[in-house]
């Protein structure tokens, strides 16, 4: 349910453009997208909080959260529940 919405936020924040449409649930993010650096992670977290009305604490964030688009969408879904 959240996958496409999270994907759109990722595409917008990272300015991936049409290439971002190729992202799937199992698409690796952290370490695979050069656009996803530490500053982009901060921007992405802020955008996800705003889009989904959730609060994300620093303690909630781990590399596994940003491993794939699917893991990020699952994380957002759990926070929104």
Tell whether pTM > 0.85: yes
- The answer to whether position 71 is within a domain reads yes
Domain that holds residue 43: 3-14+25-80
The C-alpha atoms of residue 75 and residue 61 are separated, in whole angstroms, by 9
For residue 20, being part of any structural domain is answered with no
Instruction: Write down the pLDDT at residue 23.
Output: 97
C-alpha R_g of the chain: 11
Please tell me the total count of domains within the chain. 1
Instruction: Judge whether 45 lies within some domain.
Output: yes
Whether the per-residue pLDDT at 1 is higher than 90: the answer is no
pLDDT in tens, 21-32: 999 999 999 999
**Residue 75 domain-assigned?**
yes
Rounded Cα distance between 31 and 9, Å, is 18
Q: What is the CATH number of the domain that holds 10?
A: 1.10.1200.10
**8 Å CB contact between 35 and 14:** yes
Residue 41 near residue 66 (C-beta atoms within 8 A):
yes
Question: Does residue 40 sit within a domain?
Answer: yes
pLDDT of 33-60, one tens digit each? 999 999 999 999 999 999 999 999 989 9
pLDDT in tens, 2-14: 999 999 999 999 9
């Amino acid at each position: 349910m959240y996958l496409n919405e999270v994907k759109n936020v990722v595409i917008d924040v990272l300015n991936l453009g049409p290439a971002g449409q190729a992202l799937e649930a199992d698409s690796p993010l952290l370490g695979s997208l050069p656009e996803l650096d530490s500053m982009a992670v901060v921007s992405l977290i802020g955008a996800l909080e705003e889009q989904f009305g959730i609060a994300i604490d620093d303690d909630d964030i781990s590399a596994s959260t940003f491993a794939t688009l699917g893991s990020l969408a699952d994380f957002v879904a759990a926070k929104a529940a």
